[in-house]
Amino acid sequence: MTAVETRAARHIDGFKRMKLIRATAAIAAALAVVSCGDSREKWISEAIDTASFQLKMTAEKLEGTGELPRSTYTGYTLEFLESQIEGDISGIVDSLTPNPPAERVGTLLTCNIYDWTSGFFPGSLWYAYELTGDETLKQEAISYTNLLSPLRKFKDTHDLGFMVGCSFGNALRLSPSDTVKDVIMETADNLAARFNPMTGCIRSWDFGYWNYPVIIDNMMNLDLLFTASRLSGDPRYRQVAVRHAMTTMKNHFRPDYTSYHVVSYNDDGTVEFKETHQGKNDESSWSRGQGWGVYGFTSCYRETKDTIFLNQAIHIADMIMERNTAPDLVPYWDFDAPVRPETPRDASAGALIASAFLELSTFVPDGEKYFDYAERMLKTLSSPEYLAEKGGNNGFILKHSTGSLPHGFEIDSPINYADYYYLEALKRLKDLTR
């Protein structure tokens, strides 16, 4: 057995080891103290109850419209954007999202099935069903997942992993059928077709001034390809995913393991330039982008058991814990954003990082530090500051996310992917503490 294989073998049973550590700690704690009213079980239960209520309310509201919930209309001032970017924004004024009419501010923003976020609401319904066993949530999950069936023919985006993986991918686990499998396989074919052997990456965007743009978010779409390889036995999907991850690891990351948002490639596979399109500036550490990275490389290790991906995930996770200066751990929208009371948080980055850290904790000997960090973050997200009141927040679960501040879009707003990764993280937390 090689040294790499030996290290990998030590991590394979990480999940079982963490459960044993947790069980031992729980017994010790029970012997030492009487459980207080503010127990883990209590706040998790209340969070799941609120989430289920919000999701049912939204599903009923949008039933039959063909629309899905995305966010809430929010506005901005140029002065505020300049104060956050701490520089001149004249160069991006033309790319700003127009402010909505005053009467729309604070109202529900929906999207159609071809929006990159369309899979998150069906995915949230699936997670809520899994957490509760509520058949009403299952039927809503089936209905909203079926709404996305035309995506199996859609080829114009790399976000197919988000759109189909989060919806049909969860359906495959919880209500499998041949139709679900067929949609996943056809979608995986379309995603793999965006791979260019010369660059070693799946192309992200088909718009803009980039020659061949690849964004860090694309790490999140690789799970769909790994799933397709398992379903079909065809290694081609897995090979594309691994090559993409290796190229991303080589070109997206700085020496301190922070990540650029976008790397654009020339036709010969060399790097054209690097930038951070949705962050404070090109050299800043956009919070959600760092979350995409730690989540994506943790998933790659799960699927391959190649410790090069595990080590990358560990380095990114340690960087996040060092760079995240938010006192309650819910990150500011960019790790380099000014630390001020008015600086927006990004609950979506927090939920994403918490979910990734929980999985990472099962793969490493010192996983307790990642588990504890994630649990603290989730408890904060489950507090009244971030968790919606039933019937409020336009039906979303979490408040205070940020989509793209430099473009004046979804600033301090609920967003559907924050809810999705929050529920996924709660599910992972429950699984590790049973």
Question: CA 124 to CA 424: how far, in whole Å?
Answer: 8
- Note if 217 is an active site residue: yes
For the beta carbon of residue 273, count every other beta carbon within 10 angstroms.
13
Provide the residue type at 55 as one letter.
L
Give the angle subtended at the CA of 310 by the CAs of 305 and 313, to the nearest 5°.
145
Give the SS3 label for residue 110: strand
- Note if 282 is an active site residue: no
Res 93: pLDDT: 77
Res 38: pLDDT: 60
Question: CA 304 to CA 228: how far, in whole Å?
Answer: 14
Res 161: pLDDT: 95
Low-confidence ranges of the chain (pLDDT < 70): 1-38
Q: From 268, 216, 270, 272, select the one nearest 244 (Cα to Cα).
A: 216
H or E element at residue 70: strand 68-72
pLDDT tens for residues 51-80?
999 999 999 999 999 999 999 999 999 999
Beta bridge pairs of residue 183: none
What distances in angstroms separate CA 388 from CA 47, 51, 188, one per listed residue?
9, 9, 35
Question: CA 372 to CA 90: how far, in whole Å?
Answer: 43
Number of residues written out for the chain: 434
For the beta carbon of residue 133, count every other beta carbon within 10 angstroms.
8
DSSP labels, 120-164:
HHHHHHHHHHHHH--HHHHHHHHHHHHTTGGGGG--S-STHIIII
Question: CA 218 to CA 35: how far, in whole Å?
Answer: 43
Q: Are 251 and 313 in contact (CB under 8 A)?
A: no
Among residues 94, 134, 206, 217, the one annotated as catalytic is 217
Q: Are 365 and 22 in contact (CB under 8 A)?
A: no
Domain segments of the chain: what residues? Answer: 1-111+286-434, 151-275
Among residues 159, 336, 346, 412, the one annotated as catalytic is 159
Helices (H) and strands (E) in the chain, counts: 16, 7
H or E element at residue 315: helix 307-323
Res 178: pLDDT: 96
Max intra-chain CA distance, the chain: 66
